[in-house]
Amino acid sequence: MDPNQAFQETLDTLETFIGVFDANSDVDVLRRIANRQSRLREARQTSLDAAKELLERDTSELALLEKTVAEIETSETVIQNAKEIRNLESEKFSAVKAINELENAVDVNELRLQQLRDELELLENEDPMTGALTHTDSADILKLNLYHKMGVTTDSPDDPTKITKLMVKGSRPEKMGTINSLNLSVSDHKYGEKFVSDFVWENI
């Protein structure tokens, strides 16, 4: 091979090889990569700063809320209100208990009243000829005893013939605590037994 021709081929090969490695192009690529990394770092730092600011704000607000709650819990008004609420709860339970006891007492009184009413009805309807009551005075005394158990009193508890006034103490819820009297010595007028019984049942 001609030495000149061989030298020329070598130069051509070197030029081709050098052309593959374009220094300017590589530098541009590296510069773009560096710029992108810089922007990413800036964006990340911006996000971190924003998150840090938000965290500090939330921490400050939380501390303020905790302080406010502590002040409320230890304030005299809250303590007093809590005490009053406990007192009201206690009073409510006491009232419920008292109501239950009163309802039970009313039920017992109603049952007792009905029993006495039944006993009195038997006495009033009983025929003296059956032998259950042989004397009118004995029947009257038994009636007076029943009346007394129901809250009825007279001005002569020992002698029915001398009774001039009848006092009836209410025992039903709507009559509780009331006292009604009936004067039996009205001139020229004698109340019948049914009238007296009706007066007792109406006011007891």
Q: For the sheet containing 165-169, what is the strand order?
A: 152-154, 165-169, 179-183
Q: What is the pLDDT of residue 120?
A: 74
CA 88 centroid distance within chain: 12
CA-to-CA distance for 104 and 109, rounded, in angstroms?
A: 9
Instruction: List the domain boundaries for the chain.
Output: 101-203
Q: What is the pLDDT of residue 198?
A: 76
Q: What is the pLDDT of residue 130?
A: 47
Q: What is the pLDDT of residue 21?
A: 52
183 beta partners: 165
pLDDT tens string for the chain (204 positions)?
555 666 566 656 655 655 555 555 666 767 787 778 888 888 888 888 888 989 989 888 888 888 887 777 777 777 787 788 888 888 888 888 888 888 888 888 787 778 777 777 776 676 554 444 444 555 556 666 676 777 777 777 666 667 777 787 776 666 666 777 777 765 445 666 777 777 777 777
Q: What is the pLDDT of residue 131?
A: 47
Q: What is the pLDDT of residue 162?
A: 72
Q: What is the pLDDT of residue 169?
A: 76
The values of phi and psi at residue 122, to 5°, are -65, -40
How many residues would you count in the chain?
Answer: 204
- Exposure on the CB side of residue 150, measured as CA atoms within 13 A: 29
DSSP secondary structure code for residue 53 in this structure: H
Question: What is the per-residue pLDDT across 122-161, written as a single tens digit (0 to 9) for each?
Answer: 766 765 544 444 445 555 566 666 767 777 777 776 666 6
Q: How many CB atoms lie within 10 A of CB 147?
A: 21
In the chain, the amino acid numbered 180 is N
Q: What is the pLDDT of residue 79?
A: 74
Q: What angle do CA 127, 132, 138 make, to 5 degrees?
A: 95
